[in-house]
Amino acid sequence: MNKLSFTALACASLLSACSLMPGYQRPPAPIPANWPVSQAFDSVKNDSYQRNEDKGWRHFFLDKTLQELITLAVAHNRDLRVAVLNIELARAQLGIRRADQFPTLNAALSGSRTPNSSGEISSSYSGGLIVTAYELDFFGRVASLKEQALAQYLASTEASATVQISLMATVAQSWLSLLADEELLAASRQTLASREQSLALVELKLRHGAASELDVRLAQTLLESARVTLAQQQRQRALDENALVLLLGRALPAAALAARTGGSLASLQLADMPAGLPSDLLTRRPDIRQAEQLLIASNANIGAARAAFFPRIALTTGAGSASSALSGLFKDGSWGWTFSPQLVLPIFDAGRNQANLDAARAARDIAIAQYEKAIQSAFREVADALAGGDTLARQLKASQALLQAESGRTRLTKLRFDNGAASQLDWLDAQRSLFAAQQALVQTRLASLQNQVTLYKALGGGLLAVTANGLP
């Protein structure tokens, strides 16, 4: 081994041995080992939920139209585009920090012509290779900054994955809302037509003396109420469609327009998403991994702040040619070299270095709190989704039974009304209850499906298929 190699090896060993960056230890997760126990979790058994084998987002969103919408959103959504570009920005900043660990070699050529006291012109020319202010990182300041940049780059990739999963879930929920709007509009139009017929029938009876003015007013009230509801739902459908178009970054495709008119929530299927153990959230949720990378970056910054208390050694060196005539450059006898080390030892800085270290430690403590909060928020989101899934399933079953009962009641009341055994008020009340039951069933089915999507998002689903470069 030659002298130069030995020196380089010694410097590398010294650099690694003198790092002042604190050793990183993952904080314990501030969450229970099991999911909450309450009546909302009657069907949730902690020991029955194993970590879900991630098969990709297409195995959860089974509907072809929804898959097309998600693909379009990932390709055109601007928020996701910003998140991906932030990765490129963080990658470039990491490249800068890595470059700081190596000397920068430049070629330089300079010349000057200066008059002296006797009026003669003296010339000076130089050219060669120079290394300017290369810092010997004996105390790990540059290495700590590089580790900080690396952690921030990894955090940006996790942030992009978080945006992608959130975008996929939001597109799915928006599409479900649009399908629900269509079902509610169809029910409203049907109800409006039925009440127009009822009003015409009551007016006919009024002309023949078989109904009172009060019966007419009751029929008109229900008719106008249906018109109000129809107008509200038309506005809501327009708002939901605009929201979905914004998510997609372009207009709805023809297949989605056709599926919106002919589709229904009952026919849309989502795969079951079994929950993982609480500890799995640490590895499945990209937002938790992002918070941990930011914590690692804050931890590395402490090393850089500590290193500021120690001497900083910088080297400026060069090798080249110098001559009093431009034609004499790079000729024999004109070659030379310079070696200019500089050592800066902090003596008095009015407490600036200590303040920087205190700020770095405070930032690390903040990052710990944010990491713990991310875990707690994730645990609550999953627990809420599990509770919602169980209770909404029971609510959906009850809503279906209610609609069936109201449909039977309306049919029997109509028969009684036609045969004079029921009053106009009974018939109108049955219509009102049936319409409310139809709306409640659609809304409950929507809430149940959206809750499934929420659970998928809360568990960090589809991670293997989600990348910063888009979907497969």
Q: Which two tokens stand for residue 437?
A: 């039951």
Query: Do 437 and 402 meet the contact criterion of CB atoms below 8 Å apart?
Result: yes
- The verdict on domain 13-101+139-179+258-310+351-465 having CATH code 1.20.1600.10 is yes
Its pTM stands at: 0.83
Q: How far apart are CA 63 and CA 449, in angstroms?
A: 13
Q: Which two tokens stand for residue 4?
A: 């130069």
What residues have CB less than 8 Å from 35, skipping those under 6 apart? 41, 44, 46, 49, 275, 278, 382, 383, 386
> Residue type for 201, please?
L
Q: Specify burial of residue 461 (Cβ count, 10 A radius: 0-12, 13-18, 19+).
A: buried
Helix or strand holding residue 117 (H, E):
none
| SS3 of residue 130 by DSSP | strand
Q: How far apart are CA 456 and CA 54, in angstroms?
A: 11
Query: Angle at Cα 97 formed by Cα 94 and Cα 99, nearest 5°?
Result: 110
* Domain 13-101+139-179+258-310+351-465 identical in fold to domain 103-136+311-345: no
> Which class does domain 103-136+311-345 fall in?
mainly beta
Where exactly are the structural domains of the chain? Answer: 13-101+139-179+258-310+351-465, 103-136+311-345
> For residue 136, which of 315, 308, 6 has the smallest C-alpha distance?
315
Q: Work out whether strand 335-344 and strand 105-115 pair parallel, antiparallel, or are unpaired.
A: unpaired
Task: Give pLDDT, residue 247.
Answer: 95
Per-residue pLDDT of the chain (472 residues; tens, 9 = 90+): 444 344 443 444 444 446 788 888 889 888 887 777 666 666 555 544 444 445 678 888 988 999 999 999 999 999 999 999 999 999 999 998 888 888 888 888 887 878 777 767 777 878 788 888 888 888 888 889 999 999 999 999 999 999 999 999 999 999 999 999 999 999 999 999 988 988 888 888 888 887 788 888 888 988 999 999 999 999 999 999 999 999 999 999 988 888 888 778 888 888 876 666 677 777 788 999 999 999 999 999 999 999 888 888 888 888 878 777 777 777 776 777 788 888 888 888 899 989 999 999 999 999 999 999 999 999 999 888 888 888 998 999 999 999 999 999 999 988 988 787 888 788 888 888 999 999 999 999 999 999 999 988 988 875 444 444 454 4
Question: 3-class secondary structure for 132-167?
Answer: EEEEECCCCHHHHHHHHHHHHHHHHHHHHHHHHHHH
| SS3 of residue 24 by DSSP | coil
